[in-house]
Amino acid sequence: MKVLVPVKRVVDYNVKVRVKSDGTGVETANVKMSMNPFDEISVEEALKLREAGAATEVIAVSCGPTACQETLRTALAMGADRAILVETDAELQPLAVAKLLKAVVDKEAPGLCIVGKQAIDDDCNQTGQMLSALLGWSQGTSAYKVTVEGDKLNVVREVDGGLETVVLKMPAVITSDLRLNQPRYVTLPNIMKAKKKPLEILKPDALGVDVAPRLVTLKVEEPPKRKGGVKVPDVQTLVLKLKTEAKVIE
């Protein structure tokens, strides 16, 4: 079974995101970019399935500009067998990505797609669900634990207040949650090996996908600056301030 793992290039999670002065988006020029953390978890899970003999090949896919090759090389250095870049400079929204991924699935025929729960830049949490709908495949979102049993997949999901187990018939799409696993570190020898692994480049037109955005971003703005706090000498003063100033209690 082939496993397809979409990996998105996003602003590194350690970077303090700055909004562009014209309010059209966030600054990405001269900013450290990395693989979306949930996608690292997906790559790790796919590698574990291959190591356990449940998968035969792990294919990493990224959609976006040429620079996404760097993200794909990271996936290859982690252990993915080969990579596909769907190259475009267009702004990609989740529906467009899901359509591109469906086209890659049609070409590669994997038995499983492990998508990140959400991209930390747009926080959409949509692509995996849209992909599963477009393919007509079963889906297990926010996966906490995954086990393969023949043509079935047991997915333990993180839900409010606990865990839920769903059994999926494969082929399926799962989206990985934070506690699914701890992604492995990339070692220098593996970075060198990754340079020689195959990386195919496809174009949206060749896949027959129209990636034109369907949504318009009206404005992006920073959250209001937090006002400085005050220290109160005792509980009575605190209660008084909560009543008279903050007006959050009566």
- Supply the minimum distance, in Å, between the C-beta of residue 221 and ligand AMP: 20
Of 6 and 111, nearer to ligand AMP (C-beta) is: 6
| Residue number, 94 or 110, with CB nearest to ligand AMP | 94
Residue 64 interacts with ligand AMP (CB under 6 A): yes or no: yes
Of residues 34 and 162, the one with the C-beta less far from ligand AMP: 34
Smallest CA-to-CA distance from 93 within 72, 74, 121, 114 is with: 121
Query: Which span (33-41, 104-112, 178-186, 231-239) binds ligand AMP, by CB under 6 A?
Result: 33-41
Q: How many Cβ atoms sit within 10 Å of the Cβ of residue 26?
A: 15
Q: How many helices (H) and strands (E) does the chain have?
A: 7, 11
Select 31 or 240, whichever has its Cβ closest to ligand AMP.
Answer: 31
Q: Is the dihedral of CA 128, 129, 133, 137 positive or negative?
A: positive
Q: Is the dihedral of CA 241, 246, 248, 250 positive or negative?
A: positive
Minimum distance, C-beta of residue 238 to ligand AMP, in the bound complex (Å): 40
Min. distance of Cβ 189 from ligand AMP in angstroms? 26
Using CB under 6 A as the binding rule, the residues of this chain from 84 to 113 that contact ligand AMP are: 92, 94, 97
Token output for 208: 């027959």
8: amino acid identity, one letter: K
